[in-house]
Amino acid sequence: MAGPVQQEMERLLTDAFAPTRLEVINDSASHAGHSGDDGSGESHFTVVIEAPAFAGKSRLERQRMVNKALGDIPGERVHALAIQASAPTG
């Protein structure tokens, strides 16, 4: 079951990009006891997102777009966020 932060991330990214693929993966259990683990169970995530909005954008531009859409979540409410953003092919 997705926690509240994961659900909010999914909603924000869906609203911002209407993705053709979206996975918000909670990696927190793999980092239990490590730096940044706040005990919430929602401290580390991987986002895999594919959306037409990323067409023609560099990797850095795509990451900035995702971070902007997520507002205060990265860095303030989530310790670590890995982003894999791409445009649909074909």
Nearest to 8 by CA among 57, 61, 74: 74
For residues 1-10, average pLDDT: 90
pLDDT at 13: 98
Residues 37-88: tens digit of each pLDDT:
555 567 889 999 999 999 999 999 999 999 999 999 998 888 889 999 999 9
Q: Which helix (H) or strand (E) holds 70?
A: helix 59-70
Secondary structure (3-state) at 68: helix
Q: Assess whether pLDDT exceeds 80 at residue 30.
A: no
Cα separation of the two ends of the chain:
33
- Quick one: 78 exposed, middle or buried, by C-beta within 10 A (0-12, 13-18, 19+)? buried
Residue with tokens 């239990």: 32
pLDDT at 26: 92
How does residue 27 score in pLDDT terms, banded at 50, 70 and 90? Answer: confident
pTM of the predicted model as reported, rounded to 2 decimal places: 0.86
Nearest to 45 by CA among 13, 12, 81: 81
Q: Assess whether pLDDT exceeds 80 at residue 32.
A: no
